[in-house]
């Protein structure tokens, strides 16, 4: 049964338009309709997507990636049935508008909500060479999801991001610009800086879409995150402002080398990647991003992850 049918909102389609009454904007649910709450959810997604598509910069002219470059996106998923079609559509729009070769590797940890069925349908729409589903038997951890996904990447660059729309694809062209400008090995998104690092020269193109930030968190969570990053920066001196974010661009051989040396699990894994990258002499840059807490579904940050963070900082200080 086909559940989702994406369509390009920039190209009116009478058939699709007529069926919007039983579905929602941007994506049509078939053969059933949806609740008013879910209509609102998709409408908000549509507004964000349409606004981005209209205002998207000419990334091909600004980044000028090599024709031989290919970007593999790893999307770890768990219960992302309703987010996956939207994030895939935006990723495809971003890459294809810039003439960039791409693929998306979906690593699903046995989601019970039908995420894998959606991924298969998306592969039928975009092509099995573009949407690559590589499921696992259960929830085995974020770090091992990256390792699993890397085994199937065919690009020379890898982008790792969340599938729950906390990370917007509109920042990817900025990552690419900074990487090309400074020939970096790693580019990470930062919520806690207003400017890219290294700073562009006066003659270089503008990089970044504004200062970094977080939306959807209460004051307590913001303070905890800020404090955790300050603690890690003080003790480990990695030279970046955001150690715990997961929205990053890597050279394929670099991330494979770093991951082969990592021992942490969960969200500490993000911190260890940057710390080890610096220790191994790889070059790291930052681009400001806005992080939006997931609108639909539950955040996957658990109390155990928070407790493990402090242990992770101590372990990295001792071992790296």
Query: Which one has a higher pLDDT value, 244 or 123?
Result: 123
Q: Percent of the chain having pLDDT more than 90?
A: 47
For residues 86 and 46, state if they share a domain: no
For residues 106 and 232, state if they share a domain: yes
Query: 84 — phi, psi (to 5°)?
Result: -60, -45
- Of the listed ranges 135-144, 219-228, 306-315, the least confidently predicted one is 306-315
Average pLDDT on 158-185 reads 95
For residues 124 and 37, state if they share a domain: no
Average pLDDT on 161-171 reads 93
Instruction: Supply the pLDDT for residue 306.
Output: 63
For residues 133 and 25, state if they share a domain: no
Residue with tokens 């996956």: 84
Q: pTM of this prediction?
A: 0.77
Query: Do residues 70 and 154 touch, judged by C-beta distance below 8 A?
Result: yes
For residues 32 and 21, give the distance between their C-alpha atoms in angstroms, rounded to a whole number.
11
Instruction: Supply the pLDDT for residue 206.
Output: 84
CATH number at residue 298: 3.90.550.10
76-121 pLDDT per residue, tens: 999 999 999 999 999 999 999 999 999 999 999 999 999 999 999 9
Angle at 128 between CA 123 and CA 130, to 5 degrees: 85
For residues 10 and 33, state if they share a domain: yes
For residues 38 and 75, state if they share a domain: no
For residues 248 and 191, give the distance between their C-alpha atoms in angstroms, rounded to a whole number.
12
Instruction: Supply the pLDDT for residue 271.
Output: 86
For residues 191 and 96, state if they share a domain: yes
Query: How many structural domains is the chain composed of?
Result: 2
What's the chain's average pLDDT?
Answer: 78
Range of the domain at 142: 60-319
Instruction: Supply the pLDDT for residue 62.
Output: 45
The DSSP annotation for the chain comes to: ---EEE--TTS--HHHHHGGGGS-SSEEESSS---HHHHHHHHHHHHHHHHHHHH---HHHHH---TT-EEEEEEEESS-TTTHHHHHHHHHHHHHHTT-EEEEEEEE---TTSHHHHHHHHHHHH-TTTEEE---SS---HHHHHHHHHTT--SSEEEE--SSSSS-GGGHHHHHHHHHHHT-SEEEEESS-SS-BSPPPTTSPP--SS--EEES--HHHHHHHHHHHHHHHHHH--S-S-SS---EEEEHHHHHHHHTT----TTHHHHHHHHHHHHTT--EEEEE-EEE--SSS-----HHHHHHHHHHHHHHHHH-
End-to-end CA separation in angstroms for the chain: 51
For residues 30 and 90, state if they share a domain: no
For residues 22 and 83, state if they share a domain: no
Average pLDDT on 34-56 reads 47
Instruction: Supply the pLDDT for residue 69.
Output: 96
Of 243, 92, 84, 275, whose CA–CA distance to 169 is shortest?
92
For residues 43 and 87, state if they share a domain: no
235-273 pLDDT per residue, tens: 776 788 888 889 999 999 999 999 999 887 766 788 899
Instruction: Supply the pLDDT for residue 254.
Output: 98
182-233 pLDDT per residue, tens: 999 999 999 998 899 998 777 777 898 888 888 887 787 777 777 777 777 7
How far are the Cα atoms of 227, 312, 317 from residue 231, in angstroms, in the given order? Answer: 6, 12, 11
For residues 48 and 66, state if they share a domain: no
For residues 27 and 95, state if they share a domain: no
Average pLDDT on 285-302 reads 71
Of 155, 153, 192, 195, whose CA–CA distance to 174 is shortest?
195
């Amino acid at each position: 049964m086909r559940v989702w049918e994406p369509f390009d909102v920039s190209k009116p389609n009478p058939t699709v338009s007529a069926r919007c009454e039983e579905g929602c904007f941007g994506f049509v649910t078939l053969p059933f309709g949806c609740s008013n709450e879910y209509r609102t959810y998709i409408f908000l997604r549509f507004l964000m997507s349409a606004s981005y598509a209209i205002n998207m910069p000419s990334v091909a002219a600004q980044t000028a990636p090599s024709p031989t470059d290919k970007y593999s996106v790893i999307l770890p998923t768990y219960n992302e049935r309703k987010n996956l079609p939207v994030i895939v559509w935006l990723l495809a729009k971003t890459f294809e508008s810039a003439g960039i070769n791409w693929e998306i590797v979906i690593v699903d940890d046995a989601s019970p909500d039908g995420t894998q069925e959606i991924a298969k349908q998306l592969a039928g729409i975009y092509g099995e060479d573009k949407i690559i589903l590589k499921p696992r038997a259960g929830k085995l951890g974020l770090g091992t999801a990256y390792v699993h996904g890397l085994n199937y990447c065919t690009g020379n660059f890898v982008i790792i991001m969340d599938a729950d729309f906390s990370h917007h694809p509109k920042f990817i062209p900025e990552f690419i610009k900074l990487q090309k400008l400074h020939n970096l090995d790693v580019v990470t998104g930062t919520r806690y800086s207003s400017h890219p690092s290294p700073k562009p020269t006066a003659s270089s193109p503008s990089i970044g879409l504004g200062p970094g930030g977080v939306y959807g968190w209460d004051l307590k969570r913001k303070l905890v995150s800020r404090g955790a990053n300050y603690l890690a920066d003080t003790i480990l001196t990695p030279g970046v402002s955001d150690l715990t974010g997961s929205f990053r661009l890597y050279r394929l051989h670099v991330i494979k080398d770093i991951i082969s040396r990592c021992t942490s699990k969960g969200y500490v894994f993000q911190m260890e990647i940057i710390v080890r990258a610096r220790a191994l002499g790889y070059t790291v840059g930052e681009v400001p991003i806005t992080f939006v807490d997931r609108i639909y579904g539950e955040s996957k940050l658990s109390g155990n992850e928070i407790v493990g963070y402090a242990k992770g900082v101590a372990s990295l200080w001792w071992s790296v």
